[in-house]
Amino acid sequence: MMCKKRRREKNFRKNGGTILKHQRVRIFSEAELEKATNNYADDQKLGEGGFGSVYKGVLIDNTLVAVKKSKGVDKAQMNEEFQMEMSIVSQVNHKNVVKLLGLCLETKVPLLVYELISNGTLFKHIHDKGSQILASWSNRLRIASEIALALNYLHSLADPPIIHGDVKSVNILLDNKYTAKIADFGASVLLSTDKTIIAEKIQGTLGYLDPEYLMTGVLTVQSDVYSFGVVLVELLTGEKPNSISSSGEKHNIIQHFISALETNNLFKILDFQTTDEGEMDEIEDVAELAKACLNSMGVNRPTIKKVSDELAKLNDHNQKSWTQQNSNETDSLLGETSQSPRRKVDHEPMTPSQTVISLQIENYTDSI
């Protein structure tokens, strides 16, 4: 027990605990997180990536958390990635970015403790055909707009600016209200004044990776724009970036999408249906935005601010149209109710069945 205690204290000091314990970040003990995750039981595992695994935990005050635990294969590399992720997420504060709750510094590679996002990944909802959240175009458009807002914050409003470096549907989580939140900053970098980073190694996920970054090793904010374009295509088509056809051949959804858009066959490859002309116009606008984001040359892609502004405008228009349509339906219902024969209270008392019908109409009208 004494050896274990000394090991924890040594790790705590090595991981900067002496300084961090005075910062505005919660420091968790190793024992506290082991208890919260039932000693990292398999049935608590939420997901796994290059850095390690993420486990669901319940703290002693019943707060639900997600604990990111390193695989610990290359401890030096993992520690470097942890330090980078910690330095980034500890300064980020945006409603569409997953919030860091605290750290555990008693392990060789520290643990990150995030808020638990309850409804899983966007990837799961796109590719699990049983999910209903993406059945409507309005939800797809809203989620796309929220992702773009978060990226615009990282690129333009964070100080210093941040390149996420691994934008993909697996790294976008949906909370209990299905609000989108960007997660996993393991491949992220802080930007210098020249807005570019020459990477020592290529990081990211094939299918979402900017081809220009792949060829040159130069990472820019426009690399995130390309990856976001891939996510937009995924949201529109319901297809994975590099899927395999029934014949076993690789199917490049990006090329297929651009070809369909250029030959006026966009609506044949959508993952959802709509007959609303206003929505169809919005879908075409978003498809054109996605195509612009997927330009092979970063300099020719729109900035994420321009993309975010355009999506926000489309989303606002969509919400106003929905509200107006709902209002018209309500007016129609109230109009029909007001034109129905009125009873004379003094002379024609209602029967029990009439009373029930009247109450149902009043309650329904009040709820509207």
* Alpha-carbon distance values, 355 to 10, 260, 338, 352, 361 (Å): 76, 58, 17, 5, 10
Give the residue ranges of the annotated binding site. Answer: 69
* CA gap 67, 127 in Å, rounded: 25
Angle, alpha carbons 352-357-363 (nearest 5°): 125
Among the listed residues 74, 166, 194, 285, the single catalytic one is 166
Residue 10 token pair: 């040594």
166 is catalytic: yes
**Burial class of residue 226, CB neighbours in 10 A (0-12, 13-18, 19+):** buried
Give the residue ranges of the annotated binding site for ATP. Answer: 69
* CA gap 358, 96 in Å, rounded: 45
305 CB-near residues (< 8 Å, 6+ apart): 152, 155, 156
The DSSP-derived string for 31-100 is: HHHHHHTTTT-GGGEEEE-SSEEEEEEE-TT--EEEEEEE--SSHHHHHHHHHHHHHHHTT---TTBPPE
**Active site (catalytic) residues:** 166
